[in-house]
Structure 1
């Protein structure tokens, strides 16, 4: 799970509450065994490497819309990209 602690206590709709608390940003569902370690990539924004107890290594990145709060009608050229 990836959490955004700055969102603790934020209001949310009943529909959003079904998905979890407001601070729950993302659940990576790629592993079938328990995660034993993970690491954020220091050179690529929002890229994570995780390994599970069955020795499966995954490198993954969340979609921009998960961590960037952008209005749906915002033109693509106006959206800030992580460096």
Structure 2
């Protein structure tokens, strides 16, 4: 978080002001814009005409979110759901 003291291990990841890194464009970015209606949502367009819309993870900027709320962000996959109506596979 911004203005928090970093441990030496945390300092290896970058300054506390570094909120996120996005490395999705292969070409140079030609334009970007913050969404005026949704905080922390941005769109960027590169010279190869690729547009990307993305949002900063809320736990990065919202101090009200506890660690318990982040459990879904740790690679946990919910169990599969079953439905009574399944598509036919042609057999």
Same fold? TM cut 0.5? yes
Q: Which has the larger radius of gyration?
A: 2
Residue segments in structure 2 that go unaligned for 5+ positions in a row: 70-91
2-structure distance, mates of 1:13, 1:36? 37
Q: 2:47 aligns with which of 34, 45, 53?
A: 53
Shift >6 Å, 4+ stretches: none
Higher strand share: 1
Q: Alpha-carbon deviation of 1:38?
A: 0.9
Residue segments in structure 1 that go unaligned for 5+ positions in a row: 75-83
Task: Name 2:36's counterpart in structure 1.
Answer: 42
Root-mean-square deviation (CA), in Å? 2.1
- After TM superposition, the score normalised by the length of structure 1 is 0.67
- Is 1:17 matched with 2:11? yes
1-structure distance, mates of 2:26, 2:60? 23
**How many residues are aligned here?**
68
- Is 1:62 matched with 2:56? yes
